[in-house]
């Protein structure tokens, strides 16, 4: 199982939000690249970057920080946050991003998603953000009536290989992930599932690993020293 340390970037600073709320923000570092170096030194093999400003702008506001990481860190990076056009996907890939995470277009523009998956293959990852099993859109500002598992089945048919599934109610709360939804997704699809939201302990990592989940994103638990990355990585590699 891959452990993805999360680096959430706003105004070119490393921050964390609680439940996606821009009014509940903690700044952890003025230099996201320093956090990337820290996680790499502790053994990370893949980083998860979120362009928080991207959800509210078509421009890559945090381009400076993302480029500095992709050009210098030496391990693959996946980036999400407001990616709603092919131009933005291309720009990120040209910047050296290994995987681009799209969200809203998976619901609002399936034709574009099909085109992106056809063109960029496994470089396209879909983020499913859900609340009470219903898909949230546009930076979590709108909760739809779309069932998240039904959407995942549709994505599989389109050719998507990997999803990042976040239970919004768990995100940043350090209360543990929604294990039930990951179990259901594993049973009902053959997608590579990256668990996101609520991971708060090594036991959470072990449980996800035992469920054969493809990957887990951890952010707040790392920054608040609830989890040591080295120990999480060791757990994720155990046979």
- What CATH fold (topology level) applies to the domain 2-233? TIM Barrel (3.20.20)
Instruction: For residues 180-186, give the mean pLDDT.
Output: 94
Record the pTM.
Answer: 0.93
Count of C-beta atoms within a 10 Å radius of residue 208: 24
Bridge partners, 17 (sequence order):
25
pLDDT in tens, 190-201: 999 999 988 999
Q: What is the set of active-site residues?
A: 8, 129
Domain ranges of the chain: 2-233
User: What is the structure's pLDDT at 61?
Assistant: 87
What is the pLDDT at residue 59?
78
What does the pLDDT read at residue 18?
65
How far is Cα 126 from Cα 131, in angstroms, rounded to an integer?
A: 16
Q: Over 80: is that where the pLDDT of 145 sits?
A: yes
Q: Show contacts of 95-102: CB within 8 Å, 24+ apart.
A: 95/63, 95/66, 95/67, 95/70, 96/67, 96/70, 96/71, 97/66, 97/70, 98/46, 98/123, 99/123, 99/124, 99/125, 99/162, 100/124, 100/125, 101/125, 101/126, 101/127, 101/164, 102/126, 102/127
pLDDT category at 60 given cuts 50, 70, 90 is confident
The H or E element that residue 130 is part of is: strand 124-131
Query: What average pLDDT is seen over the chain?
Result: 92
Query: Which pLDDT belongs to residue 30?
Result: 93
Per residue in 97-139, pLDDT (tens digit) is 999 999 989 999 999 999 999 999 999 999 999 988 899 886 5
pLDDT of residue 137: 81
DSSP 63: H
Name 84's Cβ contacts closer than 8 Å, sequence gap at least 6: 58, 102, 104, 105, 109
- C-alpha 43/C-alpha 192 separation (Å) is 22
């Amino acid at each position: 199982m891959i452990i993805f340390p999360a680096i959430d970037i706003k105004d070119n600073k490393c921050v964390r939000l609680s439940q996606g709320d821009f009014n509940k923000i903690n700044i952890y570092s003025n230099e996201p690249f320093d956090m990337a170096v820290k996680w790499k030194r502790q053994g990370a093999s893949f980083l998860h970057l979120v362009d928080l400003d991207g959800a509210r702008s078509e421009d890559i506001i945090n381009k400076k920080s993302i480029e500095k990481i992709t050009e210098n860190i030496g391990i693959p990076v996946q980036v999400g946050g407001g990616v709603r056009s092919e131009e933005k996907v291309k720009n990120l890939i040209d910047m050296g991003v290994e995987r681009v995470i799209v969200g809203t277009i998976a619901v609002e523009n399936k034709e574009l998603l099909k085109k992106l998956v056809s063109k960029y293959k496994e470089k396209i990852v879909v983020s499913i953000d859900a609340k009470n099993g219903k898909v949230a859109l546009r930076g979590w500002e709108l909760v739809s009536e779309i069932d998240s598992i039904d959407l995942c089945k549709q994505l599989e048919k389109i050719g998507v290989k990997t999803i990042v599934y976040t239970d919004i109610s768990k995100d940043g709360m350090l209360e543990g992930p929604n294990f039930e939804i990951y179990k259901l997704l594993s049973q009902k699809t053959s997608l590579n599932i990256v668990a996101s939201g609520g991971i708060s302990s090594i036991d959470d990592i072990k449980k996800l690993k035992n469920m054969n989940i493809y990957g887990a994103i951890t952010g707040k638990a790392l920054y608040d020293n609830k989890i040591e990355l080295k120990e999480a990585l060791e757990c994720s590699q155990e046979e």
